[in-house]
Amino acid sequence: MSSVRTGLPVPLRPTAKRWTRHPALARALGWGVFVVVAITILFPTFDVSLQDCLIRATPFVFCGLAVAVPARAGLVNIGGEGQFAFAMVVVTAAVLLVGDTLGAAVLIPLLVVAGLFGGMLWSGIAALLRVTVKLNEALCTLLLNFVAPLVLAYFVFGPWRDRSSFNLPVSKVFPDAARLPTYGVTQLHLGIVFAIAAAIAVWVVLDLTRWGFRARVVGGNPEAARRAGLPVNRIAFAALVAGGALAGLGGMVEVTGVEGVLRPNIGVGFGYIGFLASWLVGHRPLDLLGSSFLLGSISVAGDSLQINAGLPSTSVYVLMAVVLLLVLSIRGVATRGTS
Amino acid sequence: MLVEDVLAGTVRSGTSVLFAAEGELISERAGVINLGTEGCMLTGALAAFAVTNATHSALLGVVAAVGAGALLASVHAFVVITCRANQLASGLAVSFLGLGLTSWLGAHYVSRSIHPLNRADIPALSDIPFVGPVLFQHDVLTYVGLALGPLIWLFLYRTRTGLILRATGENGAVAFAYGHSPTLVRYLAVMVGGALAAVGGAQLVLAYTLNWVENVTVGRGFVAVALVIFAGWEPLKATLGAFVFGGALALQLQLQARGVSISPFLLNMAPYVLTLAILVVASRGRAQRPPEEIRAVFGTTGA
Amino acid sequence: MGATSMSASLGKSSRWLLALACMTACAVAAGCGGSSNSATSSKAKGHETIGFLYVGPHNDYGYNQAAYQGSLAVKKAFPAAKVLEAENVPETAEAERVMEKMIRDGATILFPTSFGHLGPAMNVARRHPNVTFLHMGGLKNGPNLGTYFGTIYDTQYAVGQAAGMATKSDKLGYVVAFPIAQTLLNINAFERGAQSVNPKAKTSVVFTGSWCDPGKQAEATNSLIDQRVDVLEQHQDCTKTVVQTAERRGVLSTGYHADASGLAPKGWLTGSEWNWGPLMVRMVRTVEDGKFKASPYAGLYRVGVPSGVIKLAPYGAAATPAIRKQVTATYDRLKTGWVPFEGPIRDQSGKLRVRAGVTPNRHQLESTDYLVQGVVGKIPGGA
């Protein structure tokens, strides 16, 4: 802890050679064991389908990355929820505008850009207020979470409601060209690959590049970073906006990969669960894949809890919260012991 | 008429947020930010509703809320004070815990009814034109809420305990040097904060919605946390902030009831956008400074 | 904070994490131990597995409770059948997942009961041609998916008459969640009923923007009462707050979805009520007999007062003998299949929407996108 606090360079890669001394490998192994145990023992026992878990975990990865990137620069982004929702609005606008005229090869990349842009725009508000009037980004993003779903509702109940379906509050069904391809007869969509690729990309940027290193210095001690001549504001702004873009990509993936139509209530709670997922693993992008899978499994197991055991579906929140509180406590105690 | 109705509506819909904001203020003044306020409100709401339903006594309901809110807040206190975990992450997790627990335990209470906390007009004062309907035709908890800001101001600035609380929030080491345990002070402050938020939840269900449903607070607790910053950690301004939020809520519904044609979605944004706008204005003025220990949590360094 | 800089304790925390992950899994295991499914579904008559999905809590004194009571009737009529239930199922792909899970648990008949469950149900229905879907409130169907709903706006006309006769200020209030065809139609029927007995009656509408937000409902009710509204009606999923707030402020209330007379011992007039049980039992029997595809349930099935699915709730203390006489007369007329939407009908702007002497058919009514003259308050976002 002290090395970052003082802003002194930290080694980018641990020097130990044996894999048991290599924390990243140890963690990867740990997650691997969990996934194997989950798939071979837990899923069959509770009738949880692997496909459902993967689909459910995907938005958690994006929303988790939206927390992890700003966290590296010392910022707290609680706004994944709003960024996710607003991006879906932008993506749907793009689909309604040009969805019928373009082929998938052009349209899908365009929608990816729309999703990234939507998320950036929504987190950009908080980022701008952060660097100009020093408004705390945690509260700003939190408040904006209550606004974005209303923007979505405004369009879905208003201008975009489906006139071909008796004015139901859903958008027009997306054309096939605007849907992410799925694998064979399954519902596994390309967005799952996006999520894994995004996690790897974020890991590369944060842990292996100069920018990632600078962000870590800013996050560790902004004052020292400033004195060292780093553009603190620019890095903070970029980190928060990049986080929003990742949540936005998650929104794009959910609305084009899973739903195929914009409805109210898509993705409610995903931003918060992503937040938990990222904190669970100390904002490490690759581990986030594991924690998202864990939380995705818990979410899906919630169906079984309700249908077979009669527990309300929201009781899975209790489980998630307890796990995170325990991890935070234990990690807090452990960190205190070493610093 | 419109002004009077809107102001009366402001007090009605702002009171629950007011309790939560004042509670959060006490907690933050001791150096602990508690995003779990939302969870504490929900816990208080369910505890109050369930106990009032069982005992037919709103007073016992409020007492139960105080206990339940303090209990949930103590979870947050343990995680952040004893274990030194991040306050924002722990707070959000505690809110989730509150949401999950109350949905689970409260499922059976959705169909139950209570004898609500009824209006208790204050004799003479309630007959004053304009002022009467706005301020003096409410339930008992609302009157407590109206007095809460000034009371907490007195507590913070005119009592020794208040001084110790503020000192702890500025610098735990200083308080320790004067012979007070910052840990104890913070634990108490967080629990009192949670208890007040729970009373806010209790007021919401006992006097306002008269019913329990899952997630009945819909984010009021989070708004309360934001309002504390807007208020610059000053109890009187926190009261004002809560009523600005309540006013925005009441205004949009009063306008609709008068046939004004505005999208309810745009109107529903108003309370949040307004809170945000005021935060921006407030932070430009630099009139207030957060307690030092809160600064550390926020990392409010910026430019 | 500390999270970015914990290199010292990484190994330790990862082991803890793993342990916790397993603990969580075990907690899940303990929570539903022994309840694991046997996916082999018995197709013997009366032994089906039937799944019900609700969008809200099953005991909300509203729409979901009405649907839940339908499921109770099904349980009673088919004691050997296994009934699976899931509440608070959102109207998104989540619903697809819940339906898939129920099908894996052996369900052959599914009742997605929220109108927003239609899209997800259509998707699942395509993947499972052998499962029958009976969707409530929809406007589309498929080979193995039928949709049914009740013309509850018919009784809303009678309820409007009760309100129109009871009001002293000639101001009625309507607290509504969202502006969609179903809600607009109910408001129109209510106002037309009120006008039929009291030409001066006006209905003020407030949209809360949520199917269940008691805080907003309370303030909306208070706002309307501040405007001298003295009879409250509503359309949302959880209905108790509006009725109780009205009762507390000494004004009258009418109801929608379920009988709420117990909540307003003084101010309750009457209301519209669902009675899904008999219809649901009939539909399950038809599917069992293999006659679904040839039955009307495979299409867009609509039932009204004559079938008994739509009922008038019991009269409350506020319903005077004159009101009871008038409303009962209208109710009797509705039982004969009368549709209370004869032209001319003008919208708020005065535009003629239904010509004199014409009665729109059910599908025209269900795409209503306007409010009739006499309603105060606009549809947001324009029609």
Q: What DSSP assignment string belongs to A175-213? A: PGGGSPPB-TTS--BHHHHHHHHHHHHHHHHHHHSHHHH
Q: What confidence score (pLDDT) does residue B119 get? A: 84
Distance of alpha carbon B186 from alpha carbon A268, whole angstroms: 34
C258, closest residue in chain B (CA to CA):
B111
Distance of alpha carbon B69 from alpha carbon B203, whole angstroms: 13
pLDDT of C325 > 70? The answer is yes
Peptide bond into C344 cis (omega under 30): yes
pLDDT of B41 > 60? The answer is yes
Tell me the pLDDT band of C144, cut-offs 50, 70 and 90: very high
Do the Cβ atoms of B207 and B142 come closer than 8 Å?
A: yes
Angle at B238 between CA B237 and CA B244, to 5 degrees: 90
Distance of alpha carbon A41 from alpha carbon A37, whole angstroms: 6
Do the Cβ atoms of B68 and B44 come closer than 8 Å?
A: yes
Interval B193-238: pLDDT, tens: 999 999 999 999 999 999 999 899 988 999 899 888 878 899 999 9
Q: What confidence score (pLDDT) does residue A291 get? A: 93
Distance of alpha carbon B70 from alpha carbon B88, whole angstroms: 18
Residue A316 touches partner B, C-beta closer than 8 Å: yes
Q: Which residues of C touch A186 (CB under 8 A)?
A: none
Residue A230 touches partner B, C-beta closer than 8 Å: no
Distance of alpha carbon B113 from alpha carbon B53, whole angstroms: 7
| Average of per-residue pLDDT values in chain B | 89
Distance of alpha carbon B34 from alpha carbon B133, whole angstroms: 34
Neighbours of C361 (CB within 10 A): 11
Pair of tokens at residue A13: 């890669």
Q: What confidence score (pLDDT) does residue B255 get? A: 86
Tell me the pLDDT band of C20, cut-offs 50, 70 and 90: low
C interface test, pick of B253, B261, B295, B297 with most C CB neighbours within 10 Å: B253
C216/B249 CB distance under 8 A? yes
Q: What confidence score (pLDDT) does residue C383 get? A: 40
Distance of alpha carbon C315 from alpha carbon C255, whole angstroms: 11
Q: What confidence score (pLDDT) does residue B299 get? A: 55
Tell me the pLDDT band of C238, cut-offs 50, 70 and 90: confident
C209/B264 CB distance under 8 A? yes
Do the Cβ atoms of C42 and C105 come closer than 8 Å?
A: no
Pair of tokens at residue A65: 């990355």
Pair of tokens at residue A266: 């898509």
Interval B55-111: pLDDT, tens: 999 999 999 999 999 999 999 999 999 999 989 889 999 999 999 999 989 988 988
Torsion angles phi and psi, residue B249, rounded to 5: -65, -45
Of C59, C206, C248, the CB nearest to B110: C59
pLDDT of C366 > 60? The answer is yes
Of B211, B249, B258, the CB nearest to C214: B211
Q: State the average pLDDT over residues B266-280.
A: 83
Q: What confidence score (pLDDT) does residue B284 get? A: 65
Residue B105 touches partner A, C-beta closer than 8 Å: no
Per-residue pLDDT of chain A (339 residues; tens, 9 = 90+): 333 333 434 444 444 445 556 677 778 888 888 888 888 777 777 778 889 999 999 999 999 999 999 999 999 999 999 999 999 999 999 999 998 999 999 999 999 999 999 999 999 999 999 998 888 888 899 999 999 999 999 999 888 987 766 667 889 999 999 999 998 888 899 999 999 999 999 999 999 999 999 999 998 888 889 898 899 999 999 999 999 999 999 999 999 999 999 998 898 889 999 999 999 898 999 999 999 999 998 888 888 888 887 777 777 889 889 989 999 998 888 876 544
Distance of alpha carbon C357 from alpha carbon A274, whole angstroms: 58
Q: What confidence score (pLDDT) does residue B285 get? A: 58
Q: State the average pLDDT over residues C60-71.
A: 90
DSSP state of A313: T
B265/A158 CB distance under 8 A? yes
Q: Which residue has the higher pLDDT, C53 or C139?
A: C53
Paired with C173 in beta bridges are C204, C232
Interval A39-91: pLDDT, tens: 877 777 777 888 999 999 999 999 999 999 999 999 999 999 999 999 999 99
Q: Which residues contact C15 (CB under 8 A, 6 or more apart)?
A: A30
Instruction: Give the orientation angle of helix C10-31 with respect to helix A285-309, to 10 degrees.
Output: 10
Interface of B with A in 273-292 (CB under 8 A): 273, 275-276, 279-280, 283-284
Q: What confidence score (pLDDT) does residue B72 get? A: 98
How much is the CA Rg of chain A, to the nearest whole Å? 20
Q: What confidence score (pLDDT) does residue A151 get? A: 94
A327/C13 CB distance under 8 A? yes
Q: What confidence score (pLDDT) does residue C35 get? A: 37
Residue B118 touches partner C, C-beta closer than 8 Å: yes
User: CA of B276 to nearest chain A CA: how many angstroms apart?
Assistant: 7
pLDDT of C381 > 70? The answer is no
pLDDT of C41 > 70? The answer is no
Q: What confidence score (pLDDT) does residue B286 get? A: 54
Q: What confidence score (pLDDT) does residue C261 get? A: 83
C179/A157 CB distance under 8 A? yes
Interval B101-110: pLDDT, tens: 999 899 889 8
Q: Which residues of C touch B16 (CB under 8 A)?
A: 215
pLDDT of C116 > 60? The answer is yes
pLDDT of B53 > 80? The answer is yes
Q: What confidence score (pLDDT) does residue C281 get? A: 95
Q: What confidence score (pLDDT) does residue A165 get? A: 66
Residue B297 touches partner A, C-beta closer than 8 Å: no
CA separation, residue A70 to residues A221, A243, A328, C7, C179 (Å):
14, 6, 19, 19, 39
Distance of alpha carbon A46 from alpha carbon A40, whole angstroms: 11
C interface test, pick of A298, A303, A320 with most C CB neighbours within 10 Å: A303
C245/B210 CB distance under 8 A? yes
Residue type, B132: G
pLDDT of B302 > 50? The answer is no
Least confident piece of the model among B15-19, B145-149, B205-209, B292-296: B292-296
Distance of alpha carbon C69 from alpha carbon C56, whole angstroms: 14
Pair of tokens at residue A259: 């739903």
Q: Which residues of A touch C28 (CB under 8 A)?
A: 42, 46, 298, 301, 305, 319
A interface test, pick of C12, C14, C37, C114 with most A CB neighbours within 10 Å: C14
Q: C268-274 and C310-312: which strand pairing? A: antiparallel
Q: Which residues contact C209 (CB under 8 A, 6 or more apart)?
A: A150, A153, B264, B265, B267, B268, C177, C178, C216
Give Cα C241 distance to the centre of its chain. 17
Residue B88 burial (C-beta neighbours within 10 Å; 0-12, 13-18, 19+): buried
pLDDT of C7 > 80? The answer is no
Of C219, C238, C263, the CB nearest to B253: C219
Paired with C301 in beta bridges are C148
C224, closest residue in chain B (CA to CA):
B257
pTM (2 d.p.) = 0.89
Of B9, B259, B268, the CB nearest to C377: B259
Q: State the average pLDDT over residues C253-272.
A: 88
Q: C375-376 and C345-346: which strand pairing? A: unpaired
Do the Cβ atoms of A126 and A79 come closer than 8 Å?
A: yes
pLDDT of B187 > 90? The answer is yes
Exposure string over A327-337, b if 16+ CB within 10 A, otherwise e: bbbbbbebbee
Residue type, C105: D
pLDDT of C239 > 90? The answer is no
How much is the CA Rg of chain B, to the nearest whole Å? 19
Least confident piece of the model among B169-183, B255-269, C16-30: C16-30
Distance of alpha carbon B283 from alpha carbon A128, whole angstroms: 13
Residue A32 burial (C-beta neighbours within 10 Å; 0-12, 13-18, 19+): exposed
Q: Counting every residue, how long is chain A?
A: 339
Interval C158-186: pLDDT, tens: 999 999 999 999 999 999 988 888 899 99
C interface test, pick of B256, B297, B301 with most C CB neighbours within 10 Å: B256
Tell me the pLDDT band of C86, cut-offs 50, 70 and 90: very high
